[in-house]
């Protein structure tokens, strides 16, 4: 059933934005995201620790989990490396109990449990899409350096599955890059691309 949602007015610009979020610094017309491409707030990244896991193993060592992962979850570590949990995992766990692995999984491999909660897209999130995706009317997803269109989201999206509309920060505007969400973990190539699209600086605490 449709539900009315309310987003409070934002009087001040977010800390990462060096310009006011007015018509001069927003892309006219707005845009929308594809919520299925984003992780939920309860998403958990699994990073495999040494020595990894061999084919037929039934447990995987990992860095402490940031949240729970339910039994039956299938984790994709890339390529043909999958793991199916036969026991639920809790926040802080350092191993996963899984069905016999079909292939080796190496130390440092990562997989993401996408979660089942709300899909919140923070202000300042880089989003992107290719020209082919634009022509097909597809929404923006998490940006990569391979995208033809890359922008920063101007205002937080509190629940993208209810309302996928976004406002885009216009290219050339000032960005205090160190205040972007997840700045420390931003892909270097994506950060280089953002620096070419915006006037970037380092903000003072």
Question: What pLDDT, on a 0 to 100 scale, did the predictor assign at position 184?
Answer: 94
Same domain, 50 and 27: no
Domain boundary among 85, 113, 141: 113
Question: What pLDDT, on a 0 to 100 scale, did the predictor assign at position 154?
Answer: 98
In a domain, residue 71? The reply is yes
Question: What pLDDT, on a 0 to 100 scale, did the predictor assign at position 205?
Answer: 77
Same domain, 127 and 191: yes
In a domain, residue 175? The reply is yes
The region that residue 124 occupies, defined by phi over 0 for left and psi between -120 and 50 for alpha, beta otherwise, is left
- Structural domain boundaries enclosing 107: 44-113
Same domain, 28 and 65: no
Q: Print burial letters for 148-164: b (CB count within 10 Å at least 16), e (below 16).
A: ebbbbbbbbbbbbeeeb
- CATH classification of the domain holding 88: 2.40.30
Domain boundary among 69, 92, 113: 113
Q: How many domains are there within the chain?
A: 2
pTM score above 0.85: no
Question: What pLDDT, on a 0 to 100 scale, did the predictor assign at position 11?
Answer: 52
Question: What pLDDT, on a 0 to 100 scale, did the predictor assign at position 10?
Answer: 54
- CATH classification of the domain holding 148: 2.40.300
Same domain, 98 and 140: no
Same domain, 103 and 192: no
Same domain, 48 and 77: yes
Same domain, 66 and 100: yes
Same domain, 162 and 70: no
Same domain, 34 and 129: yes
> How far is it, in rounded angstroms, from Cα 187 to Cα 205?
23
Q: What is the mean pLDDT of each run of 10 residues along the chain (205 residues)?
A: 50 89 94 97 97 97 98 97 98 98 98 96 98 98 98 98 97 98 96 98 91
In a domain, residue 1? The reply is no
Contacts of 16 (CB under 8 A, 6+ apart): 123, 124, 152, 175, 176, 177, 179, 180, 181, 203
């Amino acid at each position: 059933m449709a539900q009315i949602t309310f987003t409070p007015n934002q009087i001040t610009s977010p800390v990462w934005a060096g310009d006011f979020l007015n018509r001069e610094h927003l892309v006219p017309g707005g845009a929308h995201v594809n919520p299925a491409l984003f992780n939920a707030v309860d998403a958990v990244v699994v990073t495999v620790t040494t020595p990894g896991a061999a084919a037929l193993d039934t447990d995987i060592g990992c860095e402490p989990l940031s949240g729970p992962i339910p039994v039956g979850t299938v984790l994709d570590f890339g390529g043909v490396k999958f793991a199916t949990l036969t026991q639920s995992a809790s926040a802080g766990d350092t191993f996963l109990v899984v069905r016999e692995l079909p292939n080796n999984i190496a130390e440092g491999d990562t997989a993401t449990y996408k979660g089942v909660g709300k899909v919140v897209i923070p202000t300042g999130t880089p989003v992107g899409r290719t020209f082919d995706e634009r022509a097909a009317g597809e929404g923006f997803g998490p940006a990569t350096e391979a995208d033809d269109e890359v922008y920063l989201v101007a205002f937080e999206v509190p629940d993208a599955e209810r309302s996928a509309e976004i406002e885009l920060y216009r290219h050339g505007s000032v960005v205090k890059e160190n205040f972007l969400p997840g700045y420390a973990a931003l892909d270097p190539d994506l950060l280089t691309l953002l620096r070419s699209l915006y006037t970037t600086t380092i903000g003072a605490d």
